Amino acid sequence: MSVTSARPSVEWKRPTKWVTISLFLLPALALYLLFVLFPVVQAAYYSLYKWNGLQPLTDFIGLKNYGTALASNTFTTAVTNNVLIVVLSLALQIPFSLFLAVLLNGRFPGRAIFRLVFFLPYVLSEAITGIVFTLLLQPGALVDSGLNGVGLGGFVHDWLGDTGFVMITLFIIISWKYFGFHMVLLLAGLQGIPRELEEAALIDGAGRWQAFRFVTLPLLGPTLRVSVFLSMIGALQLFDMIWVMTAGGPLNASNTMAIAMFKAGLKNNQMGYGSALAVILFMFGLVVALAYQRFVLRRDVEGAVTAFNG
């Protein structure tokens, strides 16, 4: 040890730091490459072939799978359904969660119980939720007899069998499951806002609505934007619950992109076509995520980075 001079160690110092960092990063990076990026590239490659998953990859058909997908009614319906869920979630589910979060942010007895009750559906697994609601929504089951019992028999539908209504049914159930999650997220955001700010606004003569609109809501912006982001990504990847409840039926009316992909690849053995759908789904998610990061989340992230450097 004493033999080693100081000079080389000084020379070694900087490279060692970076070598160490990269070596520590390598396992995670390797796993990421192997299980995330490599399969993405693989899917893109398979999507250029007509392939049933068993035979050799010989039937190169270029972008034909993509053409088939875009021309297929089944797949365009699936895309429409995904977009529908995104729009409905943003228009109804998030405002509702925000409303509840604001209510539960006030002080009143039993507040913790309400918070717990509203959050509970989120804890259930999607499959269990799907099975429970499938049973409740059977013709003549609890939902129907409940509606009949309170004199709303006119509202009774073939909830999961009516092609025109199935997506609405599913949206309500999805909202039921996830509003609690967004509520808790927004509640956490609300609690991070000092109460004094709103109080000051009230003292300055602002009404309750004005104080919420111009003080609380802007300060809740970062949380709200994350909530919207998670909701959009979740809606684009929708699979489990719909698969359990309708399997995309009836007549493909409740297909989503993920369901169309699963059916093509694993049910119909159209691995090439299924891969093309997977790539389209991936691109959808990527474009939405990047655009959202670029145009909406940017200011939040920039703020954070500035604080870090400062």
- Interface with other proteins (CB under 8 A): 1-6, 8-10, 12, 16, 19-20, 23-24, 26-27, 30-31, 33-34, 37-38, 41-42, 45-46, 51-58, 68, 138-140, 158-163, 166, 246-247, 249-252, 263-264, 266-270
Q: Which of 281, 101, 252, 73 is nearest to 191 (CA)?
A: 101
CB of 54 to other proteins, least distance (A): 3
CB of 1 to other proteins, least distance (A): 5
Residue 60's DSSP bridge partners are 49
Cα(89)–Cα(108) distance, rounded to whole angstroms? 29
Cα-based angle 86, 88, 89 (whole degrees, multiple of 5): 65
Contact 82, 256 (CB under 8 A): yes
Indicate left, alpha or beta for 205 from its phi (over 0: left) and psi (-120 to 50: alpha).
Answer: left
Helix (H) or strand (E) holding 63: none
CB of 269 to other proteins, least distance (A): 4
Instruction: Report which DSSP code applies to 268.
Output: S
CB of 63 to other proteins, least distance (A): 16
CB of 139 to other proteins, least distance (A): 4
Cα(223)–Cα(203) distance, rounded to whole angstroms? 26
Cα torsion 56, 57, 60, 61: sign: positive
Instruction: Report which DSSP code applies to 164.
Output: T
Whichever of 130 and 180 has its CB closer to other proteins, that residue is 130
Whichever of 2 and 309 has its CB closer to other proteins, that residue is 2
Whichever of 19 and 120 has its CB closer to other proteins, that residue is 19
CB of 2 to other proteins, least distance (A): 7
Whichever of 65 and 216 has its CB closer to other proteins, that residue is 65
Whichever of 67 and 303 has its CB closer to other proteins, that residue is 67
Whichever of 152 and 251 has its CB closer to other proteins, that residue is 251
